[in-house]
Amino acid sequence: MQKTIKRRDVDLSDVHFSTAIHPLLQRVYAARGITSDQQLQHSLRRLHQPQVFKGLSQAVELLADAVTRQRKVLVVGDFDADGATSCALAVLALRAMGLQQVDFLVPNRFDYGYGLTPEIVAVAAGLRPEIIVTVDNGISSIDGVAAAKARGMQVIVTDHHLPGRQLPAADAIVNPNQGQCGFPSKHLAGVGVIFYVMSALRTGLRERQWFVRAGISEPNMADYLDLVALGTVADVVPLDDNNRILVHQGIQRIRAGRARPGILAMLEVAGREARRLVAADLGYVVGPRLNAAGRLDDMSLGIQCLLCDSAQLVREMALELDDLNRDRKAIESGMQQEAMKSLDALHIDGDGDLPWGLCLYDSNWHQGVIGILASRIKDRFHRPVIAFADSGGGEIKGSARSIAGLHIRDALDAVAAAHPGLLSKFGGHAMAAGLSLQRECLEAFQRAFDAVVREQLTEADLQAQILSDGELQPVDFALGLAQTLREAGPWGQHFPEPLFDGEFQLLKQRLVGDKHLKMVVAPTQDDQQLIDAIAFNIDPEVWPDPQVKRVKLAYRLDVNEFRGRQSVQLIVEYLQGL
């Protein structure tokens, strides 16, 4: 798909940076709403305080009683990286605070689906917990919470997903997105929510003199920030000020080697050095390996990898996760080819007849990988996409990914309101959601979803656009500036890594692996300045093209390290022959 490059509008009239910050970086920060050095301070003292968190005091009271009375607690997680890190953090923190009977349970997505369902409550009952704590799920578990209460269990829901019209009848609900919650940051990941809960619990236990009476040391909550950083980045939540502090602090601990052995092992298996870690490594290296367990097998493996302290065992688990991730990539590649064939068969790729809300289904698709497939197709055609797979009993499950301008959960809510009974269930965020419906209802849903998308978007919204921070001059292609930009994050969702654009002479090009294009380019202003560049996941039917001698690039300025030598490298996000 042809994309247009738009340069960001930057107003520098009201910025107050010190001269220590590079002028280019000042421009980049200003384009992201940062106007002073103070906003770049990532001290934990600048975190939002928990006192205005609705439901937190009730949750802390219940958990403090559980710890001091040694009641049995079961943490029920989710099968993605946010759920896994949330689960590990809750178990580790409760154990460190002296709770002797704490275990976890994560639903297998293929057997039980998402959240605290009545079915998973029945499984949980076999472990005989007195209290269930949900992490990264539960806000939509009306029936599951009722089932747990009916069995005499208390339930604490900690979640960050958007609530529906009805809330579960839990004993406590901690979710920044529930009504009348005054917590300023609505973008906490599930792991961020449980971090706040555990931090407040430590304070509550301190006030009860528990640590003194039990003869144990208070845990340092900062020790869990590696998990918070991983879950936050992997869940692709917006990196607002609060989340950037959490992620920055977690990254600093990982770089210093003060991280869970499982995280360090996954980095080692992937060939990444912890000391050079950036946020993107959590999102594209560690997160996918952790997610692979939940997508193809059982997330319990990923959680055990995060909980384990044995260097030998975590390496074995990290290798197993790496193998699962390779399998996931192979399955995803096959599904993507099948999806593209289906679209090609409709003869709609270039003539404007593509549905605005795109729904794809194949009975052979793997339901653990449909989310990634939806994301890939969304990126290719720049429109909301839902990929469906069979889930048994005549039901299909869909994973949705959206574009700017369409809140995907609200769009599904609009479909459900207009067509009662069409959807079995749904939930999610602005940019990603999940849903279930009967297979026989798919065509009706496709029409309804497309209609809602057409109501909420315009044709201009469907034109893929790349936001650029402008053009670099030859003097800017310097190792020092590349390192400065690399360290200036953490970069992530809603706080994107700097992206630049420009025209270059294409001097060399060759295929690396199956679909990566390695290039040597030179700025048009200085054809003697040779710069390495690489574009990942290109179309091998288009590139390399020996006829193309000049290209337009959108790229990130990066540092390549090879055999101890560092050099400037362009990571190409968009490539167009001229």
Tens of pLDDT, residue by residue over 343-365, are: 766 544 444 578 999 999 999 99
Rounded to an integer, what distance in angstroms lies between the CA atom of residue 105 and that of residue 76? 5
Mean pLDDT of 452-470: 94
144-173 core/surface letters (b: 16 or more CB in 10 A; e: else) = bbbbbbeeebbbbbbbbbbbbeebbebbbb
Q: Please report where in the chains the tokens 């390695």 appear, as a residue.
A: 518
Beta-strand (E) ranges in 45-152? 73-76, 102-105, 131-135
CATH number, span 346-462: 3.10.310.30
Mean pLDDT of 491-504: 95
What does the pLDDT read at residue 278?
A: 95
What does the pLDDT read at residue 418?
A: 94
Mean pLDDT of 85-109: 95
- Parallel, antiparallel or unpaired: strands 395-401 and 385-392: antiparallel
Domain 466-577 has CATH 2.40.50.460: yes
pLDDT at 467 over 90: yes
Sign of CA dihedral 119, 122, 124, 126: negative
Mean pLDDT of 168-175: 98
Helix axis angle for 190-207 and 56-68, nearest 10°, is: 60
What does the pLDDT read at residue 333?
A: 84
Q: What percent of the chain has pLDDT over 90?
A: 79
Tens digit of each residue's pLDDT (9 = 90 or more) over 509-533: 999 987 899 999 999 988 889 999 9
Tens digit of each residue's pLDDT (9 = 90 or more) over 399-428: 999 998 999 999 999 999 999 999 998 888
* Cβ neighbours for 541, distance < 8 A, ≥ 6 positions apart: none
What does the pLDDT read at residue 337?
A: 83
Q: Within 10 A of 242 (CB to CB), how many other CB atoms are there?
A: 20
Q: Please report where in the chains the tokens 């190409």 appear, as a residue.
A: 572
Instruction: Name the more confident of 431 and 59.
Output: 59
Looking at every residue in the chain, the average pLDDT score rounds to 93
Instruction: Name the more confident of 475 and 335.
Output: 475
For residue 445, the surrounding DSSP H or E stretch is: helix 442-456
Q: Please report where in the chains the tokens 């997505």 appear, as a residue.
A: 109
Q: Which two tokens stand for residue 431?
A: 């940019």
Q: Which two tokens stand for residue 461?
A: 């919204």
Mean pLDDT of 253-279: 95
Mean pLDDT of 223-250: 96
Contact call for residues 136 and 190 (beta carbons, < 8 A) = yes
* Cβ neighbours for 285, distance < 8 A, ≥ 6 positions apart: 266, 267, 270, 272
Tens digit of each residue's pLDDT (9 = 90 or more) over 14-30: 888 988 899 999 999 99
- Parallel, antiparallel or unpaired: strands 395-401 and 516-523: unpaired
What does the pLDDT read at residue 346?
A: 54
What does the pLDDT read at residue 352?
A: 52
pLDDT at 217 over 80: yes
Q: Do domains 46-320 and 466-577 have the same CATH topology?
A: no
Q: Please report where in the chains the tokens 């960050």 appear, as a residue.
A: 160
Within 13 Å of residue 51, how many CA atoms lie on the same side as its CB?
A: 1
pLDDT at 295 over 60: yes
* Cβ neighbours for 277, distance < 8 A, ≥ 6 positions apart: 251, 254, 255, 267
Q: What percent of the chain has pLDDT over 70?
A: 98
Rounded to an integer, what distance in angstroms lies between the CA atom of residue 242 and that of residue 475? 35
* Residue (of 179, 188, 194) closest to 77 by Cα position: 194
What does the pLDDT read at residue 358?
A: 93
422-450 core/surface letters (b: 16 or more CB in 10 A; e: else) = bbebbbbbebbbbbbbbeebeeebbebbb
Domain ranges of the chain: 46-320, 346-462, 466-577
What does the pLDDT read at residue 349?
A: 46
DSSP string, 268-310: HHTT--GGG--HHHIIIIIHHHHHHHHHHS-THHHHHHHH---
Contact call for residues 67 and 99 (beta carbons, < 8 A) = yes
Rounded to an integer, what distance in angstroms lies between the CA atom of residue 338 and that of residue 314? 36
Domain at 46-320, CATH from 3.40.50.720, 3.40.50.1000, 3.90.1640.30, 3.40.120.10: 3.90.1640.30
Question: Amino acid identity, residue 288?
Answer: P
pTM exceeds 0.85? yes
Rounded to an integer, what distance in angstroms lies between the CA atom of residue 407 and that of residue 481? 37
C-alpha dist (Å) from residue 467 to 3, 190, 384, 537: 10, 29, 19, 20
Mean pLDDT of 182-199: 97
523 has which bridge partners?
504
Query: Omega into 544 within 30° of 0, i.e. cis?
Result: yes
